[in-house]
Amino acid sequence: MEKGIKRQLTILQQLNYDSLLYIFSFLTPKELCQLCLVSKDFKVLVEDEWLWKLSFKNIDYLFELYFGIKYPGVVQNDHFQQQCITTSKKLYTYEYCKIEKAKKFVGLWSEKWCDVDVPCGTKIIYDGHTFSIQYTKNKFSSQFFKYDDATDTLEFFLTGGDSGWSFLYSLKPIQDHLGVLHLTVQRIHDNTIFQGIFVQGPPDSRFVNNNSNNISSVGQENLTFDTNLDTNLLQYYQNHIHTSRRNKLTRYVPPLQN
- 57-78 pLDDT tens trace: 899 999 999 999 999 887 666 5
By the 10 Å C-beta count (0-12 exposed, 13-18 middle, 19+ buried), 248 is classed as exposed
Residue 7 pLDDT exceeds 70: no
Q: Specify the pLDDT at position 231.
A: 47
Question: Which H helix or E strand runs over 56?
Answer: helix 49-67
Question: pTM value?
Answer: 0.69
Q: Specify the pLDDT at position 10.
A: 65
Q: CA-CA distance, 128 to 34, in Å (whole number)?
A: 27
Q: CA-CA distance, 92 to 253, in Å (whole number)?
A: 26
Q: Specify the pLDDT at position 86.
A: 75
Which is more confident, 37 or 156? 156
Beta strands in 136-179 (DSSP E): 140-148, 153-160, 166-173
Rounded to the nearest integer, the mean pLDDT of the chain is 75
Q: Are 136 and 121 in contact (CB under 8 A)?
A: yes
Strands 218-219 and 107-113: unpaired
Question: Which H helix or E strand runs over 17?
Answer: helix 17-24
Determine which of 36-50, 95-109, 170-184 has the lowest per-residue pLDDT on average. 36-50
Q: Are 42 and 36 in contact (CB under 8 A)?
A: yes
Tens of pLDDT along 202-246? 543 222 233 333 332 222 223 233 334 444 444 444 444 333 333
Residue 40 pLDDT exceeds 70: yes
Looking at the chain, the number of H-run helices and the number of E-run strands are 10, 9
The angle subtended at Cα 213 by Cα 208 and Cα 216, nearest 5°, is 140
Q: Are 142 and 157 in contact (CB under 8 A)?
A: yes
Count Cβ neighbours within 10 Å for each residue of 1-33 and write b for 16 or more, e otherwise: eeeeeeeeeeeeeeeeeeebbeebeeeebeebe
